[in-house]
Homo-oligomer: A and B are copies of this chain.
């Protein structure tokens, strides 16, 4: 089976902009890794008529429809009823599902199940049931006229659980062929510069395809191949990969690193190193991103969010005269913050960020977007000065991206240096 998928998210909160459609991102990423092409994302409100129309269009252009959301117990949860109407199916009651929901209420909420949750035990006739041990909304899957229809709950952790434990195993058992991608990480070039260097190699319609993707602190290049097996994908990819490596040289500093924080945690763990943080304008974002990674506790003792000069001085030990002389947003303060974090947490490395995320500049003439990033290491402390563009949230995200990328570049360079010395020693 070759699946071509459309994801249909149901919920007025998406159209009102109350939440981002993070479920679609998660499910898409998982489908891509399983070799399923996702052609469309659609979001529609809690409106049966529009959901019907959308379902009709989707089944005319895709053979895998994945509905997300609208499986809850309340009156505005209409996905099952509406989709069943389009496909001419009835809903049928599942006593075992009902028992699971009642048990979930008893064990987790420690109370009786309200009557309205009974609705959640009705599923399309002939469905494969996606039993849900992490919530009350079961998912399901059925096929009708060559179209596979799956339904997943919209609550993110339930959606994720059922994607991994029910939907993907089903699809993987039936999917023909494999899609395999590698992501190359490029530092110190802009997207147009990469395009000029790579010239005719970029074509997203080829197999393998090559496409650029601009991140805030680096450019990523994705090489994607489709073939019967992963090995055959690698054979297709190898010649293109070699050409790209030749053309970009030292600007390429890694492959398949994942997020900068995931790569940093992995590399630090491999080398038995730790890192701490001292954050002003990023306000805890770097610590949060490092601790997003499961297992971060092995490499991250902790950090300090020093939003005021008092906390910079009192907890991190930034000398008062440096704060007075240069101001909080300055190279010497970034240096002292990183060194302070390294000292008080006894870490091997430390990152610091001080800057102006906006809305206002400071009284020393620094514009919004001014950021100093410190990286303290046993061999000394380096400070990088940036002037970033964008709104407050964007500047904070970019500053965190840069800090983590600088940490990765530091780890890469020290590794290359060690290897070089090793090579030299062998001669």
> Interface on A for B, CB 8 Å cutoff?
9, 12-22, 24-32, 38-46, 50, 53-54, 57, 61, 72-76, 108-109, 114, 116-117, 134-135, 155-157, 160-161, 181, 190-193, 195-196, 202-204, 211-214, 222, 277, 279, 281-288, 290-292, 294, 296-297, 300-308, 310-311, 314-315, 344-346, 358-359, 389-394, 396
Contact = CB atoms under 8 A, between A and B. Distances in A.
Q: Which secondary structure dominates chain A's binding surface? A: mixed
B16 A72 contact: no
Nearest to A204: B76
A235 B234 CA distance: 66
A15 B28 contact: yes
Contact of A114 (B9, B45, B193, B310): B193
A393 to B, nearest CB: 7
A306 B282 CA distance: 17
Interface centre among A161, A294, A302 (most CB of B within 10 A): A302
Contacts of A75: 195, 202-203
Contacts of A291: 281-285, 305, 307, 396
Contact of A17 (B26, B297, B302): B26
Contacts of A290: 283
Contacts of A222: 16
A265 to B, nearest CB: 12
A15 to B, nearest CB: 4
Nearest to A301: B308
Contacts of A277: 284, 305
A310 B284 CA distance: 19
Contacts of A57: 57
A214 B108 CA distance: 17
Contacts of A204: 12, 46, 76
Nearest to A400: B288
Contact of A307 (B40, B114, B285, B302): B302
Enumerate the 8 nearest inter-chain pairs by beta-carbon distance, A residue then B residue, closest first: A283-B291, A17-B29, A284-B287, A284-B284, A157-B390, A17-B28, A41-B43, A302-B311
B294 A13 contact: no
Nearest to A183: B18
B393 A134 contact: no
B294 A302 contact: no
A246 to B, nearest CB: 21
Given A74-B195, A391-B161, A17 B43 contact: no
Nearest to A11: B213
Contacts of A359: 294
17 contacts: A12-B204, A12-B211, A15-B32, A18-B29, A39-B45, A73-B195, A114-B192, A135-B389, A277-B284, A284-B286, A284-B287, A284-B305, A294-B392, A296-B307, A300-B307, A302-B304, A302-B311
Given A283-B300, A311-B345, 19 more contacts: A14-B25, A14-B28, A16-B28, A17-B31, A19-B25, A20-B20, A39-B44, A40-B42, A40-B54, A41-B43, A114-B195, A284-B284, A284-B305, A285-B288, A292-B392, A294-B358, A302-B306, A304-B304, A314-B344
A75 B211 CA distance: 10
